Amino acid sequence: MFTLHDQPASGRETALKPLLIACDRWRAEGALDRIDVVLVHEGEALHPVPRIAAEVGRHLDRYGVRTIARSRLVAIEGDVAVLEGPGGARRERVALLHVLPPYAPQPLVAASGLDGPGSGGFVDVDPDPLRHRAHPRIWGVGDGAALGDGRTGGALRHQVRIVVDNIRHARAGARLERYDGYTVAPIATGRRSLSFGEYDRQLRVRGSIPLVDEVRSSPVWHLVDRYALPRTYWRGILAGRL
């Protein structure tokens, strides 16, 4: 059994990686047909973006994964997982349980007064310019801010660029730039295949490469994620070149 919960979550799509890679490995070893693989998720859909949800669903069907929607794990009693859903509590016996841990803001945010009404305890920034609603000299990026979008590392590079530009614009009295909620959440669909899910706050697919379907899982995206992106991250993004 593998679990997936709604926001707030950090890198929610990443929780699908162990499920799909395990299924790929079990199938290669001829064991998948003897395993009842279950995915429990809180939402009605597997992903807020319909195209990405359809791609994830295609691979779950291919591996024969049983899904339990609108349900969440509420307790573990020995080898029994207790789920809560529309029909009430249900119990499922498990041999292996992978849990996506809950995600919560740091108490420091509320203690410092940087949260706000409806922010859920996260830093209360305007999600467009990434500026704090009550304290204009404070800006917020990353998992600790209430941005109203998916919390992924792939979004951080865009957020940081906009904050840097907006600090300059604010000092000059110029118009601030708007962050549209862009994020990218690679989903490993197997040991050597991957889907790139790029989308924005309006849940529109945002491909970086024109005329190429990045949502459709491919070994090419696995190679990009495995070899090209780490070099880009360490030598470009962290060095401030990208």
Which pair of structure tokens corresponds to residue 104?
A: 């919560």
- Cβ within 8 Å of residue 153, ≥6 positions away: 11
Task: Check residue 228 and report its DSSP letter.
Answer: I
Same domain, 21 and 83: yes
**CA atoms of 191 and 188, how far apart (whole Å):** 7
pLDDT in tens, 114-125: 999 989 999 999
Same domain, 93 and 13: yes
Same domain, 98 and 194: yes
pTM: 0.88
Last residue of a domain, one of 172, 199, 224: 172
Number of domains in the chain: 2
Q: What is the mean pLDDT of residues 14-20?
A: 92
Angle between helix 16-28 and 50-63 (nearest 10): 30
CB 8 within 8 A of CB 104: yes
pLDDT band at 197 (very low <50, low <70, confident <90, very high): confident
Q: What is the mean pLDDT of residues 133-142?
A: 95
In this model, does residue 242 exceed pLDDT 70? no
Backbone angles phi, psi at 85, to 5 degrees: -145, -165
Residue 39's domain is classified under what CATH number? 3.50.50
Tell me the average pLDDT of the chain: 91
In this model, does residue 157 exceed pLDDT 90? no
Distances (CA, A) of 70 to 5, 11, 74, 86: 9, 20, 13, 7
Same domain, 55 and 145: no
Edge-to-edge order in the sheet of strand 2-4: 2-4, 38-41, 66-68
**112: burial class by Cβ within 10 Å (0-12, 13-18, 19+)?**
exposed
CB 196 within 8 A of CB 184: yes
Determine the 3-state secondary structure of 126 from DSSP.
strand
Residue-level pLDDT at 13: 84
Last residue of a domain, one of 172, 190, 223: 172
Distances (CA, A) of 127 to 67, 83, 123, 141: 33, 34, 11, 9
Residue 242 falls inside a structural domain: no
Residue-level pLDDT at 159: 92
Last residue of a domain, one of 122, 143, 172: 172
Residue-level pLDDT at 43: 86
Which pair of structure tokens corresponds to residue 127?
A: 């999600």
> Which residue range is the domain that position 32 belongs to?
2-102+182-237
Distances (CA, A) of 186 to 6, 15, 114, 124, 172: 17, 11, 31, 27, 37
pLDDT band at 126 (very low <50, low <70, confident <90, very high): very high
Residue 77: Cβ within 10 Å count: 8
Q: What is the mean pLDDT of residues 25-32?
A: 97
Cis upstream peptide for 86 (omega within 30°): no
Residue 217: Cβ within 10 Å count: 22
Task: Check residue 98 and report its DSSP letter.
Answer: B
Residue-level pLDDT at 148: 78
Helix (H), strand (E) at residue 167: helix 153-172
Determine the 3-state secondary structure of 38 from DSSP.
strand
- pLDDT > 90: what percent of the chain? 68
Highest-confidence segment of 143-152, 171-180, 198-207: 171-180
Same domain, 86 and 193: yes
pLDDT band at 102 (very low <50, low <70, confident <90, very high): confident
